[in-house]
Amino acid sequence: MKQGRLIIISAPSGTGKTSVIQRFLVKHPNMIHSVSCTTRPQRITETNGKDYHFIDAATFQKWIQEGKLAEWADVHNYRYGTPKEPLDEALSIGKNVLLDLDVVGGMNLKKMYQDRAVSVFLIPPDIEELKRRLFQRGTDSPEQQEIRLKNAMKEMTVKNQYDYQVVNDILDRACGEIEKILGIYADA
């Protein structure tokens, strides 16, 4: 049986990783998308169980203690994590799993799954474009936008720890580049 892989996509907020992942999943419907859990409040455009599993802080802490999370991190003043059981189930049946992770989670899963994981860091075209995207999307308060921008600058410093870096200047071009990187894994 063909071995499944984790495809880790990380990027600073506002770089467009959600758009890249959505486009990628449409083109490759056999790929599984890992749904993270978070203590962040649900946005009106989000669906619980599809975009994230929205849980309270006590449940999140309990899942950490019970070992139910493959990785977790505190990001933008909230907690985010990846449930372990669905990852291991998908890999065991040869499925590829696409993950949208912050840099801490991305590096932790890469370390844990080693050669079964491919990591891609999305880079914004430039800092001004990143600011524009963050401030125009209208999903966060001005305080949250500033936190995300400050964190983005820190996150950019680890891009070279990823297997690949892709500039997300034009969505179709960035998705095409990721497809080339993944090669034979994309259609599994």
Residue 160 maps to which CATH number? 3.40.50.300
Q: Is 38 helix (H, G, I), strand (E, B) or coil?
A: strand
Q: What is the pLDDT of residues 92-116, one digit of tens each?
A: 999 999 999 988 889 999 999 998 9
81's CB contacts (< 8 A; 6+ apart) are 36, 37, 38, 60, 63, 64, 69, 70, 71, 72, 73, 105
Domain extent at residue 69: 6-185
Q: Is residue 97 part of a domain?
A: yes
Q: Is residue 16 part of a domain?
A: yes
Tell me what pLDDT residue 136 has.
74
- What single-letter DSSP state applies at residue 77? T
Q: Is residue 26 part of a domain?
A: yes
Q: What is the pLDDT of residues 128-167, one digit of tens each?
A: 877 776 677 666 677 877 777 788 888 888 999 999 999 9
Domain count for the chain, please give it: 1
Q: Is residue 1 part of a domain?
A: no
Q: Which of 9, 4, 59 is nearest to 179 (CA)?
A: 9
Q: In this structure, what token pair is assigned to residue 163? A: 């297997």
Tell me what pLDDT residue 137 has.
66
Tell me which amino acid residue 91 is.
Answer: L
- Across the range 118-132, mean pLDDT stands at 84
Q: Is residue 144 part of a domain?
A: yes
Q: What is the pLDDT of residues 17-48, one digit of tens each?
A: 888 988 888 888 888 999 999 999 998 989 99
Residue with tokens 């455009």: 45
CA distances (Å), origin 88, targets 21, 27, 125: 20, 24, 34
Q: Is residue 71 part of a domain?
A: yes
Percent of the chain with pLDDT over 70: 93
Q: Is residue 141 part of a domain?
A: yes
Tell me what pLDDT residue 27 has.
86
Q: Is residue 43 part of a domain?
A: yes
Neighbours of 33 (CB within 10 A): 15
Q: Going by DSSP bridges, is the β-strand pair 6-10/78-83 parallel, antiparallel, or unpaired?
A: unpaired
This prediction's pTM: 0.83
Judged against a pLDDT cut of 80, whether residue 124 lies above it is answered with yes
Judged against a pLDDT cut of 80, whether residue 2 lies above it is answered with no
